[in-house]
């Protein structure tokens, strides 16, 4: 959307880390409108349980758009139980081709404890090369920090928390009030 129509929503940082048989998704709580912090305790990481299978999802972008995508993802997971990759690909195809969905402005990180993906409106279902993925305005800061921390003795949650703390210190659209979900 062009800047004259979009109110200037910025920010969030979501990170997914896979290490030691566990996958963690962590997200900050800040919601900003332009240069103003509107809320500091938003919950942008959710646990889904379609068909009794645990899935964790974190989102960056428009909240209403993200919830629409999460509902669609849950439906895809219910249609293909235990097949997260297939469900994510089906969601990405719909998102890319559906007249309504292709206008949604959000990104998702999802995991079932085995797979870890980023899903975008461009039709991408991306699996990280180094067991870390991050999105949002502070995503690159968190990603770089986590990459540096992966070779330490820290577990997945500690890596995610430290990386998010570093991103919060650098990115003005990210705060330190985290929601952290672990699976695996």
From the candidates 12, 13, 111, 182, which is the catalytic residue?
A: 12
Task: Specify the CATH architecture of the domain 9-176.
Answer: 4-Layer Sandwich (3.60)
- Is the pLDDT higher at 52 or at 44? 44
In this predicted structure, what is the pLDDT of residue 1?
39
Work out the pLDDT band at 9, boundaries 50, 70, 90: very low
pLDDT above 90 (res 72)? yes
Indicate if 68 belongs to the active site: no
Residue 62 has pLDDT above 80, yes or no: yes
Q: How confident is the model at residue 10 (pLDDT cuts 50, 70, 90)?
A: low
pLDDT at residue 3, as a whole number: 44
Whether the Cβ atoms of residue 85 and residue 117 lie closer than 8 Å to each other: yes
Contact yes or no for 16/109 (Cβ under 8 A) = yes
Q: Cα separation of 134 and 86, whole Å?
A: 21
Q: What is the pLDDT of residues 74-124, one digit of tens each?
A: 999 999 988 999 999 999 999 999 888 888 889 999 999 999 999 988 889
Instruction: Supply 26's token pair.
Output: 């962590």
pLDDT of 156 above 90:
yes
Asked if residue 124 lies in contact with residue 103, where contact means CB atoms within 8 angstroms, the answer is no
pLDDT at position 33 is 84
Q: How many CB atoms lie within 10 A of CB 112?
A: 23
């Amino acid at each position: 959307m062009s800047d004259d129509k979009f109110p200037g929503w910025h920010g969030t940082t979501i990170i997914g880390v896979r290490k030691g048989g566990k996958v963690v998704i962590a997200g900050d709580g800040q919601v900003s409108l332009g240069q103003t912090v509107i809320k500091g305790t938003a919950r942008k990481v959710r646990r889904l349980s379609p068909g009794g299978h645990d899935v964790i999802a974190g989102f960056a972008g428009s909240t209403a758009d993200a919830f629409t995508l999460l509902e669609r993802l849950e439906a895809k997971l219910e249609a293909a139980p235990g097949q997260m990759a297939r469900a994510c690909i089906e969601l990405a195809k719909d998102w890319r081709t559906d007249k309504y969905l292709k206008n949604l402005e959000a990104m998702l990180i999802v995991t079932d404890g085995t797979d870890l993906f980023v899903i975008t409106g461009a039709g991408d279902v991306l699996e990280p090369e180094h067991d870390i993925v991050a999105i949002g305005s502070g995503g690159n800061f968190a990603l770089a920090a986590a990459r540096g921390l992966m070779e330490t003795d820290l577990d997945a949650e500690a890596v995610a928390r430290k990386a998010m703390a570093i991103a919060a210190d650098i990115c003005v659209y990210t705060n330190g009030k985290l929601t952290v979900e672990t699976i695996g």
